[in-house]
Structure 1
């Protein structure tokens, strides 16, 4: 039986940080409900693509319309086993919603697995749940995380119930560590050629 996972997303969240974990977690058998405050299931959020091209900061371009499959006002965090908080620009405004903060606090109070990436820890910092954790984030968010009481490290890290990464290039390791935390076993058989 798959794990029930809640994902909090918003307008101009990073496209890859929403799409990839949403699909990857489903591909291994988990159920993922993507929600956004003030939006209903079936509505969409606009994503942004952030790229690293040698500038002093990332480049942002318009991404996709990502369809929500659940309504935040209707979900009970207690019904979920784990939480995913992607990055991008969305966390800077999502952290202003009481329901987002209370949802994040539930997962930490219940010691449930949480995966957060890039700017996602801005929400965790606003929720006051980072004290004592060793974690990472997009480097520009480091000061916020440290001010919230964590020990910031460079690279993907799991500490207790929390898995963090710096940005979408960390997906392979970040998702793998989250799957380990969830207790997900993925088996791979030997590849078979199409003509065999």
Structure 2
């Protein structure tokens, strides 16, 4: 099956795991992923943040890495893409203020293309007004935003994910295995396993 073309919306202090793991995994199974950030171009970096769960009332935040963009935000035509991914972290708080980000998000919703968000990434969907009547999950602190946007917030364990039509959501990065599995299913991607006979070397 021919790989899909996937757009990823990021910004400074996107969550480290939530941008890098799907960016690499989706390419590993044959898809093309373009990571873009408002006001930045290909080969420029965004800084990432590591969000961890250490027994406090909310996540802790630590400096992450530099993540290199591979496409120009200003050149993006959403018609060219089959699916949208929005990682969490701090970035969704402010990239949702960019009207072009919201227009891009609405395109994927209106065209019923797969959309996958993780953790705080759902804040972009609430701002774009595309959650009316949808069931979804996110980091618990985003629950009120989902309800305000007309969606149904569903509380699930942090390592699980859920699907409603074209929308794939999860609470945070511990859900990566389930979130990516479900997203690949919505994309129509099949990963086949074959048995091999091991040959001993003496």
Normalising to structure 1: TM-score of the pair? 0.97
Equivalents in 1 of 2:100, 2:189: separation in Å? 29
**SS class of match (1:177):** helix
The Cα shift of 1:154 comes to 2.0
Q: 1:189 aligns with which of 187, 194, 198?
A: 194
Provide the residue aligned with 1:29 in structure 2.
30
Number of matched pairs: 196
CA distance change for structure 1 residues 7 and 193 in 2, over 3 Å: closer, same or farther? same
Provide the residue aligned with 2:181 in structure 1.
176
Matches within 5 A, 1:19-58: 19-58=20-59
> What RMSD over aligned residues (CA atoms) do the two structures have, in Å?
1.1
**SS class of match (1:120):** helix
Matches within 5 A, 1:1-196: 1-155=2-156, 156-190=161-195, 193=198, 195=200
Cα deviations by residue, 1:94-146 (Å, 9 ceiling, x for unpaired): 00001100000000010000000000010000000000000000001100011
Contiguous gaps of at least 5 residues in structure 1: none
Normalising to structure 2: TM-score of the pair? 0.94
The Cα shift of 1:189 comes to 2.0
Equivalents in 2 of 1:16, 1:194: separation in Å? 36
Moved more, 152-161 or 120-129: 152-161
Moved more, 112-121 or 153-162: 153-162
**SS class of match (1:131):** coil
Contiguous gaps of at least 5 residues in structure 2: none
Equivalents in 1 of 2:14, 2:3: separation in Å? 25
Equivalents in 2 of 1:98, 1:21: separation in Å? 25
**SS class of match (2:35):** strand
Equivalents in 1 of 2:198, 2:9: separation in Å? 39
The Cα shift of 1:157 comes to 1.1
